[in-house]
Amino acid sequence: MPVKLGKSVRKTVRGASRPSFEYTHDYIKTYSNGALIDKYNASNTKRKDKRKIKVEMDRRNKLGKANIVFTAAESNG
């Protein structure tokens, strides 16, 4: 299954004879490189999501779609 980064959204289909729903999923493949970097650097991003982003960037680097290198953060003093 594809990796999801956000939550899935359920929308109600209007005008149907009985209740029916349409789901939209938030797959990590659909994000741009810039959006993934911004999400990775955000202070409120979970460790699990950071790992997913790092794996996705490694996958894109291998395919030649990106050239992003992760480095360890320097500690102050």
DSSP 24-55: E--BGGGS-HHHHHHHHH-TT--HHHHHHHHH
In a domain, 59, yes or no: yes
Alpha carbons 3 and 25: distance in angstroms, whole number: 10
Hey, what are 8's tokens? Answer: 């899935």
Structural domains in the chain (count): 1
Name the pTM for this structure.
0.76
In a domain, 1, yes or no: no
In a domain, 75, yes or no: no
Q: Which residues contact 9 (CB under 8 A, 6 or more apart)?
A: 23, 24, 26
In a domain, 2, yes or no: no
pLDDT in tens, 10-64: 999 888 888 899 999 999 999 999 999 999 999 999 999 999 999 999 999 999 8
Domain that holds residue 26: 9-63
In a domain, 47, yes or no: yes
In a domain, 44, yes or no: yes
Query: Residue holding tokens 């899935």?
Result: 8
